[in-house]
């Protein structure tokens, strides 16, 4: 059964389950290798009918994981509200086929209790998120960023209380480096908390998790990684190779990617990457997603989309995630030309 007649062409949603779903680290949970993030295009200024088509297209093509956060919008909370309205009307019957994740850690409301990683904030924020989405529980609840002041024990014990209350099945951390992830996992293992996943930025043009030890630690500890911004906020989408389109994120939003980021050096590098993708029989965004998914440590990549066709194109990335040594060397050289020289020991 499919959500709308329009997508009955997607019959056999799970026919390729063995290839499309991957276990999260050493846990029992599996995620699709491509997940849909609602960071953009689900806020108060966006079109609700388009949101529906994005969600329906994703689900009817096998994407079972939808990722949110308390502050996604704009305005804060509106992505959860919009998802909740669509879910209640069109998707509730599929709840047991769906993974919903949300987060708390960035500023959500005024005053001393609406930010960071205290027990007070995390539990209150999740209660608000569940109310906005009309859900009894989320499948994964993340602490969204490291807190330099709150003891990590307090944060992890708050996550433990959330799981024991039944408001989340699993928990994760986001934007943690390797050292803090190890501290969090040590406590989680002692109390048998299902802390199973990291969510971090990772792309051909952003290797931070290689440099800060997170990727290496995740592989050693059995913690999964889900990557956000795998297309470098759209720079690896091909849309900027011939200027800044009126409907692009830079033109419409500009909070996270600026026109100044699209400089001639980066455009030259992106064109070279697009040439490699073409030789591989892929579009540049497909290759960029495949590049993340090539590594065993990576469970899933989070895509954003403004059009249903982008979702369908991106899903095809899973069909070829194998790279030759020469391709990897060439990609590193191109990336290094705009990022600075890459440490050859980063994969060790």
CB 147 within 8 A of CB 116: yes
| Maximum C-alpha span of the chain | 54
One DSSP character per residue, 175-216 reads S--HHHHHHHHHHHHHTT--EEEEEEE-BTTB-HHHHSSHHH
Phi first, then psi, for residue 300 (nearest 5°) are -155, 160
Q: How is the chain split into domains, by residue range?
A: 5-232+298-304
Per-residue pLDDT of the chain (348 residues; tens, 9 = 90+): 455 554 444 456 777 677 899 999 999 999 999 999 999 999 999 999 999 999 999 999 999 999 999 999 999 999 999 999 999 999 999 999 999 999 999 999 999 999 999 999 999 999 999 999 999 999 999 999 999 999 999 999 999 999 999 999 999 999 999 999 999 999 999 999 999 999 999 999 999 999 999 999 999 999 999 999 999 989 999 887 776 665 655 545 555 555 667 788 999 999 999 999 999 999 999 999 999 999 999 999 999 999 999 999 999 999 999 999 999 999 999 999 998 756 544 443
DSSP single-letter state for residue 7: G
CATH architecture, range 5-232+298-304:
Alpha-Beta Barrel (3.20)
Helices (H), the chain: 17-20, 48-60, 78-86, 119-133, 152-164, 178-190, 208-211, 214-221, 249-252, 264-279, 284-293, 308-315, 325-339
């Amino acid at each position: 059964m499919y959500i709308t007649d329009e997508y009955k062409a997607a019959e056999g949603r799970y026919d390729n389950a063995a290839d499309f779903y991957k276990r999260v680290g050493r846990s029992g949970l599996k995620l699709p290798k491509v997940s849909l993030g609602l960071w953009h295009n689900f806020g108060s200024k966006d079109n609700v009918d388009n949101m529906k088509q994005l969600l329906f297209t994703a689900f009817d093509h096998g994407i079972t994981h939808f990722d949110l956060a308390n502050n996604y919008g704009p305005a804060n909370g509106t992505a959860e509200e919009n998802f909740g309205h669509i879910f209640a009307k069109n998707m509730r019957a599929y709840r047991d086929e769906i993974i919903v994740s949300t987060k708390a850690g960035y500023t959500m409301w005024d005053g001393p209790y609406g930010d960071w990683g205290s027990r007070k904030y995390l539990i209150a924020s999740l209660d608000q998120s569940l109310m906005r989405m009309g859900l009894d529980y989320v499948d994964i609840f993340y602490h969204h960023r490291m807190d330099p002041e709150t003891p990590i024990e307090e944060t992890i014990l708050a996550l433990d209380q959330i799981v024991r209350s039944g408001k989340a099945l699993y928990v994760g951390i986001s934007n943690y480096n390797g050292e803090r992830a190890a501290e969090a996992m040590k406590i989680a293992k002692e109390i048998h908390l299902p802390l199973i996943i990291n969510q971090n930025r990772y792309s051909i043009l952003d290797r931070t998790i290689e440099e800060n030890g997170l990727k290496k630690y995740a592989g050693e500890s059995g913690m999964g990684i889900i990557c956000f911004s795998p297309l470098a906020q759209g720079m690896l989408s091909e849309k900027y190779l011939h200027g800044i389109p009126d409907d692009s994120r830079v033109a419409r939003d500009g909070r996270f990617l600026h026109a100044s980021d699209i400089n001639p050096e980066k455009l030259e590098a992106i064109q070279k990457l697009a040439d490699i993708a073409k030789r591989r029989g892929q579009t540049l965004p497909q290759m960029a997603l495949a590049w993340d998914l090539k590594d065993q440590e990576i469970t899933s990549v989070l895509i954003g989309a403004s059009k249903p066709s982008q979702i369908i194109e991106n899903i095809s990335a899973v069909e070829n995630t194998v790279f030759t040594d020469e391709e990897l060397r060439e990609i590193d050289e191109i990336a290094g030309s705009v990022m600075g020289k890459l440490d050859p020991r980063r994969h060790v």
